[in-house]
Structure 1
Amino acid sequence: MNNPAWTRRQLLKATAALGAGSALTPGAFAQTPWPSKSIRFVVPFAPGGSSDIVARSTAAELTRLLGQSVFVENKPGAAGNIAMVEVARAEDQHTLILGHIGTLAVNPYIFSKLPYDPIKDFQAVTLLAKVPSLYVVHPSVPAKNLKEFIALARSQPGKLSYGSAGNGSAGHLAFEYLKAKADLFVLHVPYRGTGPQLTDLLAGRLDAASVGASAILAHIKAGKLRCIATGSTQRLPQLPDVATVAEQGFPGFEMTQWYGLQAPANLTAANMARLATEAVKAVRSPGSVERLHADAAEPVGNSPAEYAQFIAAEQKRWKAVVERAKIQPA
């Protein structure tokens, strides 16, 4: 160490080594396996609805497949806009959001200035599941089926009320769709999520609602709510005695909620590719299929391109419904 020449040589070698290490760092970082930490899966609605059921089932399977915890975080507000904006701006490569008929296909037409672009700000990963909408009433309402409910509503226009998880929510759209087809006047009462809405419906403070099957099957089977029609194209195995809306005088009627997986637009191509592959495996896994079927939800799992095409078709469909019903944000 007392030799100045030796010291200089060592210093030069050390400096070269540090330089080489610095040059390799970006490449090494880019090749770090993804995910490298827990993934936040945001649900833009309050707990208690079909969105929660689909999200938590998917999260459980993705945790197993990705090798990192995928945790669900409910972040309701402003018809889902608050959560959508936050996730659109996420830059950590570990934040995802549950796509929904409202945030992706309806909000663009009920808000004059939407704070996010459902197409440009997000990547469509896969369509996770479809959930039939059920039309239900509180047991105190004297209507055993849809025909009787329509007759009752027409006999006292504006006196019956129905609740929804909020303006532009799937339940709001489903009931407005029915009102348009059946020429009804039933008062709409918006809530901040399915959970709060169900609390008042079960208590009899609301007369009716349209809710995803997953969230209310247990209440129907317990006799706390009466299902008067299903929005599905065929009768549900869980409710074989309940006729569809189409069977009760409205041929071709179909109303299903749907839920997908969206990633921020800045998720890298490699990470997106892995996420898309594992997400399809997750929703089609035996455990997920069993859980979703038990709640009358139909798992899908398609390619990003197919899901993107589906969203475009839904936007076209619901734009017409929003304009006809003159749906406005709360």
Structure 2
Amino acid sequence: MLKVLGASAVSLGAAGGSRAQTFPSQPIKLIIAFPAGGPTDITMRVLAENAGKILGQTVVVENRPGAGGTLPATALQNAQPDGYTIGQTPLGVFRLPYTTKINWDPVKDLTYLLCVTGYSFGIVVPAESPLQSWTHFVAWAKANPGRLTYGSTGQLTSPHLTMEDIARRVGIKLNHVPYRGSAQLMPALLGGEIMAAADSTGFAPHVQAGKLKVLNTWGAKRLPTFPNVPTLKELGIDIVQTSPYGLAAPKGMNPKLVKTLHDAFKKAMEMPNHKEALAKFDQELIYMSSAQYSKFAEETFKKEKAIIESLGLAKAT
């Protein structure tokens, strides 16, 4: 009997190894945090198509916007660690425990695959707006406390939190209106629902079409697309925000699967068509390996706590 059981165990082990070696044998689902048609959706679909060709299976993009970009990571808590469900991890994931009650840990309960890129941000207003410069923006806001409305890509996203930090530093009070990503935010701004928007450079086509004006950008240096627009640092506001993001999988994934997915998406992100897609939104590659991205998650989790607390947005305990 022991010999039979032993033989069966070897057989099962061999079968398991065979399945691992043939991964993937079905389509992979990639959940992203923002709506269809926005800059994240556009660039991620290029990345997914590239990775699918490398892996020999389709990578299907599923949009789950809302909740500050945290819905993909939340969905991974209920997914199997078999490599067939992965998700985008914006910085909002690391703020979640400080702003709402959850029963999982962003550092311990995800498997980090790799970091891909980061956003370039700025503040835009309609081209016909009287707020034609950052000086005008601040002066109007000071003269009309709480009346200047601005939109962001969602509550507690990087655009929202950074804008609140900017307002605190320059001594103005703004009226925040959250939307579910750039694809909803831009029509709202163009339609006159709000006076300004804090967003990633998904606004670029509207600026180039003469419909919007950029007041400032948030990187360490001026963006190639907007060389005449000052950075926050140039305006005397000591903030640089690029909000790196990448891909994660459910907790407990086999290291071999992690390596397979990491290697495929690393190759995919370095392909020319993906770099070209990112360049349209002034984004650059920000590669981190699985180990580096895990360490980044741990460090960012601690930093975000300080930011949330400094803005008075931490949940009541």
What is the Cα deviation at residue 146 of structure 1? 1.6
Q: In the alignment, what sits opposite 1:11?
A: none
Answer yes or no: is 1:193 the counterpart of 2:178: no
Secondary structure (helix, strand or coil) at the match of 1:275 reads helix
Asked which structure has the greater CA Rg, the reply is: 1
Answer yes or no: is 1:93 the counterpart of 2:79: no
Q: In the alignment, what sits opposite 1:302?
A: 288
Q: In the alignment, what sits opposite 2:141?
A: 153
**Equivalent position amino acid for 1:69 in 2:** T
What is the Cα deviation at residue 126 of structure 1? 1.0
Secondary structure (helix, strand or coil) at the match of 1:282 reads helix
What is the Cα deviation at residue 171 of structure 1? 1.7
Runs of at least 4 residues off by over 6 Å:
19-22
Secondary structure (helix, strand or coil) at the match of 1:289 reads helix
> Where in structure 2 are the equivalents of 1:1-330 lying within 5 Å?
24-32=11-19, 33-91=22-80, 92-103=82-93, 105-111=94-100, 113-213=101-201, 215-250=202-237, 252-327=238-313
Note if contact 1:85-1:115 (Cα within 8 Å) is conserved in structure 2: no
Q: Partners in 2 of 1:260 and 1:29 — Cα distance?
A: 29
Shift in CA distance, 260/136, structure 1 to aligned 2, threshold 3 Å: same
What is the Cα deviation at residue 178 of structure 1? 1.3
What is the Cα deviation at residue 245 of structure 1? 1.2
**Equivalent position amino acid for 2:164 in 1:** E
Q: Partners in 2 of 1:314 and 1:25 — Cα distance?
A: 41
Note if contact 2:118-2:243 (Cα within 8 Å) is conserved in structure 1: yes
Note if contact 1:146-1:245 (Cα within 8 Å) is conserved in structure 2: no
Note if contact 1:158-1:185 (Cα within 8 Å) is conserved in structure 2: yes
TM-score, normalised to structure 1, is: 0.86
Note if contact 2:114-2:289 (Cα within 8 Å) is conserved in structure 1: yes
Note if contact 2:148-2:174 (Cα within 8 Å) is conserved in structure 1: yes
Q: Partners in 2 of 1:321 and 1:184 — Cα distance?
A: 18
**Structure 1 stretch displaced more, 254-263 or 93-102:** 254-263
What is the Cα deviation at residue 133 of structure 1? 0.9
Percent sequence identity is 31
Note if contact 1:54-1:129 (Cα within 8 Å) is conserved in structure 2: no
Instruction: Specify every segment of 5 or more residues in structure 1 that has no aligned partner in the other structure, as ranges.
Output: 1-15
**Equivalent position amino acid for 1:163 in 2:** G
What is the Cα deviation at residue 271 of structure 1? 0.5
What is the Cα deviation at residue 127 of structure 1? 0.9
Shift in CA distance, 116/224, structure 1 to aligned 2, threshold 3 Å: farther
What is the Cα deviation at residue 316 of structure 1? 2.9
Note if contact 1:167-1:328 (Cα within 8 Å) is conserved in structure 2: no
Q: Partners in 1 of 2:39 and 2:275 — Cα distance?
A: 15
**Structure 1 stretch displaced more, 21-30 or 45-54:** 21-30
Q: Partners in 1 of 2:200 and 2:314 — Cα distance?
A: 22
Q: Partners in 2 of 1:152 and 1:145 — Cα distance?
A: 11
Shift in CA distance, 54/117, structure 1 to aligned 2, threshold 3 Å: farther
Note if contact 1:110-1:327 (Cα within 8 Å) is conserved in structure 2: yes
Q: Partners in 2 of 1:26 and 1:78 — Cα distance?
A: 41
Note if contact 1:157-1:185 (Cα within 8 Å) is conserved in structure 2: yes
Instruction: Specify every segment of 5 or more residues in structure 2 that has no aligned partner in the other structure, as ranges.
Output: none
What is the Cα deviation at residue 326 of structure 1? 2.2
What is the Cα deviation at residue 283 of structure 1? 1.3
Q: What is the count of residue pairs matched by the alignment?
A: 309
What is the Cα deviation at residue 230 of structure 1? 0.4
Q: Partners in 2 of 1:36 and 1:301 — Cα distance?
A: 27
Q: CA RMSD in A?
A: 2.2
Note if contact 2:70-2:92 (Cα within 8 Å) is conserved in structure 1: no
What is the Cα deviation at residue 69 of structure 1? 0.6
Shift in CA distance, 115/145, structure 1 to aligned 2, threshold 3 Å: farther
TM-score, normalised to structure 2, is: 0.90
Q: Partners in 1 of 2:199 and 2:70 — Cα distance?
A: 21
Note if contact 1:131-1:257 (Cα within 8 Å) is conserved in structure 2: yes
Shift in CA distance, 225/97, structure 1 to aligned 2, threshold 3 Å: same
**Equivalent position amino acid for 1:249 in 2:** G
What is the Cα deviation at residue 289 of structure 1? 1.4
Secondary structure (helix, strand or coil) at the match of 2:119 reads strand
Q: Partners in 2 of 1:51 and 1:139 — Cα distance?
A: 24
